[in-house]
Amino acid sequence: MELYFMGTNAGVPSLERNVTSLALRMLDERRSFWLFDCGEGTQHQILRSPLKLSKLECIFITHLHGDHLFGLPGLLASRAYQGGDTPLALFGPPGLKKFVNTALDLSESRINYKLNIVEHEGGTVFEDEIFRVESAKLDHRIASYGYRIVEKDLPGKLDTDLLARNGIRPGPLYGKLKRGESIVTPEGNILSPADVLGKPKRGRVVTILGDTRPCPAEIPLAEGADALVHEATFLHELKETAYDYHHTTAKQAAEIANEAGAKSLYLTHFSSRYKYEDQLLLLLREAEAVFPNTRLAREHELYPVMRSS
């Protein structure tokens, strides 16, 4: 599981950075990737990336401001021409369906895959046997949501030596044990999963928050997250400006990470006023003073989500 940023600028694109979009690449877990927000130009960023639109499985939109979804109609249409024929699920606030359908209808765009648009107002928005995605409303000028992506715990390692001593070789019986089912040995003994499975591997948690002022809803979403992605639009010296525009400073993002007990923090959504490396480093240093394990999100870099013990 890896984070791949394709847009880290706030409001409008700049010569240095594109507007918001982030991929969660899950080749080992699902052989696919999920996209969080789709600012204008996202499909161009994907062309410059190791990602393939044919592998895109889900898109999660945090809110309906243009810098977070103006790239969506073009990307949906292009996916059909780039080998994307599998179903695609699109999640976001009320109004998303109208936006997408209007753009596709008026442009007479044709897609040859099933598009399932799910509007939500928080709660559990997605769940299968591998992942659960929870959402909650934040504090922004319009309805903006954060997402908590929870990887379910994985079965522990099989004791293959013990199984071999009981006449069990690799095959379907291994699968039954990993699914939590007991099996019968050739000698007629019953082996339960508890007999042969080690301690389960803790699933990872990734929290990706939309635009927001600091607010209480962030804490449950970010609690214990292995990776927390948080906007850091301004330095703290502009905290009044951040508040007026419903945004967060780098220091405030670090305070949220601290309070939530997150393992790592990735800063993104930088104001265009911070054009140069030394200016971005001021944001980083401000956050590191509060939460040391902070990184600046860099476009077109892969950040592995490490599994904590």
Q: Which residues 6+ apart lie within 8 Å of 54 measured at CB?
A: 79, 82, 83, 84, 85, 86
Residue 236 in marked binding region: no
Residues forming the active site: 67
Q: Considering just the CA atoms, what is the radius of gyration of the chain in Å?
A: 22
Question: What is the distance, to the nearest Å, from the Cα of residue 247 to the centroid of all Cα atoms in its chain?
Answer: 20
Residue 85 in marked binding region: no
Site of tokens 């030394």: 278
Element (H, E) at 4: strand 2-7
**CB-CB contact of 212 with 225 (8 Å):** no
Q: In 98-234, which ranges are E strands?
A: 115-119, 123-127, 131-137, 145-151, 183-184, 190-191, 205-208, 227-231
Residue 246 in marked binding region: no
Long-range contacts of 158-162 (CB under 8 A, 24+ apart): 158/196, 158/197, 158/198, 159/196, 159/197, 159/198, 162/195, 162/196
Residue 65 in marked binding region: yes
Residues 122-133 as b/e (b if ≥16 CB within 10 A, e otherwise) read: eeebbeeeebbb
Instruction: Return d(Cα 184, Cα 250) in angstroms, integer.
Output: 57
Residue 105 in marked binding region: no
Residue numbers belonging to the annotated binding site: 63, 65, 67-68, 140, 211, 269
Residue numbers belonging to the annotated binding site for Zn(2+): 63, 65, 67-68, 140, 211, 269
